[in-house]
Amino acid sequence: MTNALRVRRSIQELQADYEKGNKQPLEDLMRAWKGVKELPPEDPRSFFMIGGFHGEPFRGGGWGSNLYWGGYCHHGNILFPTWHRMYLVKLEEALRSIQGCEDVTLPYWDETSDDSIRQGIPWALTAENFELDGKTIPNPLRSFVFPKNIVDNVSADDGTDPNSPNYTKLRGYETVRYPLSGLVGTDKDRKATEEHNAKFKDAKKNVEILNQNIVDWLGSFVVINGEKFPTNVAQKYKDCLNAPNYTVFSNMTSAQQWNDDQKNPDGTPGPGTVVPLESPHNSIHLAVGGFETPKDDWSPIDGANGDMGENDTAGLDPIFFFHHCHVDRVFWLWQKKQGFTDHLEVIGQYPGTNSADNQGPTPGVAPNTWLTLDTPLDPFKHEDGRPYTSQDCINIERQLGFTYSQGSLEGLVEGSHAAAAKETKGRVTGALHVTGVNRARIRGSFLISAFAVIDGKRQHLGTEAVLSRWNVQGCANCQTHLETSATFPLPADLAAALTPAAAGTHALTAVTPAGNIQFGVVVHGRDGVLFSNLPSGVPEVKSTGKLAAASVSQNAPMNRIKARIEVR
Ligand SMILES: [Cu+2]
């Protein structure tokens, strides 16, 4: 090889260089981002154009109909890792096309590094200003101001339908993150957003709130008999590296089917339960975009609607690309660990291999079309006009000419298979399986959380984040898996404390008792608590009052939620 590989380093590495006096790498990165953001929106290299490929502005069948997805991105199917891999390559090309930025590479936010787990988001992504060429400029990585209108043609214009919020964001709109709101499609929403954001005027304090939220998501744990058990996003990133094949590693839909298939005849979880890469990915989207992790003292800041929390405009917040670069690095780590650096395999016609799965068909794709490694990754094209496919981006070094610097989780790949196995061994000996959450009835993204109430104290077992489009209601083409389920491993001591009689399926209209341990499930959406069976007498989840009450009745089918407790 004559051409050296370009290396994607972590944003933390660039920051460390900067702080030691080697300012150029971070300065060049800022210059490149400033450059692509300032290009005319019609320019194919402009950030407005590239950021908009992911979701809005919509095109194709999804332009004016919620039967289809109007963005090009893939979620909930096997193209999730490869589509986003090509997406990052295209943004990186644009950054390198800016004059003087030819050596820039896209950094990753190393989300599982010690500093992220302790402090949250690296400062380069949140600081208000940056010093560039002797001038103080607004930090290009902190937000993006839309140069053009994005008009939502899917939702009711007047905003009278609470299940169809208007997602219009006009020229001059600036992307926001937790704890702020960015829902401004109608006069009513605009007013509510103004009132909400008026409570969070201190930009520095907002960054602190955001970082605390990230720290909570990455490192949450439960305490059983004085021992800590991680239920956190960092652990999910580690666990996903053990997925045995690409299909179930790649997305939530396939993994859900796989985990159902693995069960033993008596209903207990089989040995091969997996965590898909998409799961921790979803969690960070919602952590940045606007959900608090449900700890014991959960006090959600309701009305936080940051762009990262919904697929519609997530791609227009610059942090999206630093997050996805980490996700792509974890994809590569999985490939190295499982021996798939030069080929990938897809289980044909498995759930998660159909255009109708999860989000609905992307522009130009018919409903009920099979997705394979040869499916075009629209709109990404080779120079000769051929569409890129997943086959073109399996080996990042050989096919795409880049690699990643040494970051966190690396130790789980090289020679420490046994250590990784040991880490998870003894932890999963039982599970709480929640089924029957009707995704169709919930607007936007939501969380499913499980709790155990032990000795009158509520313990958080885990949270599954479901990243969604705003308008899934009535999407007949998103036929499959409208019923979402989630599996929460039980810590060994907790599982051991359960009597076999406690195992089985329980309707969650009442609390599920198992000896002196009770289980609770909470579904939390944009409008507050949609479902909760948490017993009284323990710290209660704060509800949003009016909106939540309305949502509960609108989401009456939530009473189909069931929990199955499995003990091995
Ligand atoms: Cu994403």
Percent of the chain as helix, strand, coil, to the nearest 5: 35, 15, 50
The one-letter code for the residue type at 410 is E
Count Cβ atoms within 10 A of the Cβ of residue 3 and give its class: 0-12 exposed, 13-18 middle, 19 or more buried.
exposed
* Distance from the alpha carbon of residue 461 to the mean position of ligand 1, in angstroms: 24
* Distance from the alpha carbon of residue 214 to the mean position of ligand 1, in angstroms: 16
Q: CB under 8 Å to 264, separation ≥6 — which residues? A: 270
* Distance from the alpha carbon of residue 252 to the mean position of ligand 1, in angstroms: 13
* Distance from the alpha carbon of residue 308 to the mean position of ligand 1, in angstroms: 8
Q: CB under 8 Å to 115, separation ≥6 — which residues? A: 12, 122
Residue linked to tokens 């409903």: 367
Alpha helices in 262-306 (DSSP H): 278-289
* Distance from the alpha carbon of residue 324 to the mean position of ligand 1, in angstroms: 6
Count Cβ atoms within 10 A of the Cβ of residue 227 and give its class: 0-12 exposed, 13-18 middle, 19 or more buried.
exposed
E-assigned strand segments in 402-455: 402-404, 430-438, 446-454
Q: What is the mean pLDDT of each run of 10 residues along the chain (568 residues)?
A: 84 98 98 97 96 88 80 92 97 97 98 96 98 96 92 65 69 92 83 89 94 90 69 91 96 91 72 91 91 59 80 92 98 96 93 86 86 94 95 97 96 61 47 75 78 74 77 63 73 66 54 60 76 63 32 42 65
Q: CB under 8 Å to 208, separation ≥6 — which residues? A: none
* Distance from the alpha carbon of residue 354 to the mean position of ligand 1, in angstroms: 19
* Distance from the alpha carbon of residue 282 to the mean position of ligand 1, in angstroms: 7
* Distance from the alpha carbon of residue 110 to the mean position of ligand 1, in angstroms: 15
* Distance from the alpha carbon of residue 287 to the mean position of ligand 1, in angstroms: 12
Q: What is the largest CA-CA distance in the chain?
A: 70
* Distance from the alpha carbon of residue 320 to the mean position of ligand 1, in angstroms: 7
Half-sphere exposure of 556 (CA within 13 A, CB side): 2
pLDDT of amino acid 151: 83
Give, in degrees to the nearest 5, the angle at Cα 361 between 357 and 365. Answer: 130
pLDDT of amino acid 455: 66
Cα(144)–Cα(209) distance, rounded to whole angstroms? 20
* Distance from the alpha carbon of residue 498 to the mean position of ligand 1, in angstroms: 37
| Total residues belonging to the chain | 568
* Distance from the alpha carbon of residue 358 to the mean position of ligand 1, in angstroms: 14
Give, in degrees to the nearest 5, the angle at Cα 363 between 61 and 320. Answer: 120
* Distance from the alpha carbon of residue 74 to the mean position of ligand 1, in angstroms: 9
Rg (CA), the chain: 23
* Distance from the alpha carbon of residue 538 to the mean position of ligand 1, in angstroms: 35
Q: CB under 8 Å to 300, separation ≥6 — which residues? A: 291, 292, 294, 524, 528, 541, 542, 544
* Distance from the alpha carbon of residue 281 to the mean position of ligand 1, in angstroms: 6
* Distance from the alpha carbon of residue 265 to the mean position of ligand 1, in angstroms: 36
- DSSP conformational letter for 100: T
Q: CB under 8 Å to 405, separation ≥6 — which residues? A: 7, 8, 9, 10, 13
Q: CB under 8 Å to 329, separation ≥6 — which residues? A: 8, 108, 404, 407
Cα(105)–Cα(405) distance, rounded to whole angstroms? 11
* Distance from the alpha carbon of residue 457 to the mean position of ligand 1, in angstroms: 34
* Distance from the alpha carbon of residue 359 to the mean position of ligand 1, in angstroms: 13
* Distance from the alpha carbon of residue 356 to the mean position of ligand 1, in angstroms: 19
* Distance from the alpha carbon of residue 285 to the mean position of ligand 1, in angstroms: 6
* Distance from the alpha carbon of residue 513 to the mean position of ligand 1, in angstroms: 37
* Distance from the alpha carbon of residue 193 to the mean position of ligand 1, in angstroms: 24
Residue linked to tokens 């610059």: 318
* Distance from the alpha carbon of residue 146 to the mean position of ligand 1, in angstroms: 20
* Distance from the alpha carbon of residue 323 to the mean position of ligand 1, in angstroms: 8
* Distance from the alpha carbon of residue 500 to the mean position of ligand 1, in angstroms: 40
* Distance from the alpha carbon of residue 267 to the mean position of ligand 1, in angstroms: 33
Half-sphere exposure of 355 (CA within 13 A, CB side): 21
* Distance from the alpha carbon of residue 85 to the mean position of ligand 1, in angstroms: 11
Residue 258 near residue 274 (C-beta atoms within 8 A) = yes
* Distance from the alpha carbon of residue 87 to the mean position of ligand 1, in angstroms: 11
ipTM above 0.90, yes or no: yes
Cα(142)–Cα(397) distance, rounded to whole angstroms? 30
The one-letter code for the residue type at 44 is P
Strand, coil or helix: what is 374? coil
* Distance from the alpha carbon of residue 227 to the mean position of ligand 1, in angstroms: 33
* Distance from the alpha carbon of residue 111 to the mean position of ligand 1, in angstroms: 14
Cα(78)–Cα(69) distance, rounded to whole angstroms? 16
* Distance from the alpha carbon of residue 200 to the mean position of ligand 1, in angstroms: 26
* Distance from the alpha carbon of residue 535 to the mean position of ligand 1, in angstroms: 34
What dihedral angle (degrees, nearest 10) is formed by the CA atoms of 85, 87, 92, 94?
Answer: 160
Alpha helices in 20-79 (DSSP H): 24-38, 47-51
Token digits for 67? Answer: 């039967």
Strand, coil or helix: what is 518? strand
Write out 147-176 in H/E/C secondary structure: CCCECCCCCCCCCCCCCCCCCCECCCCECC
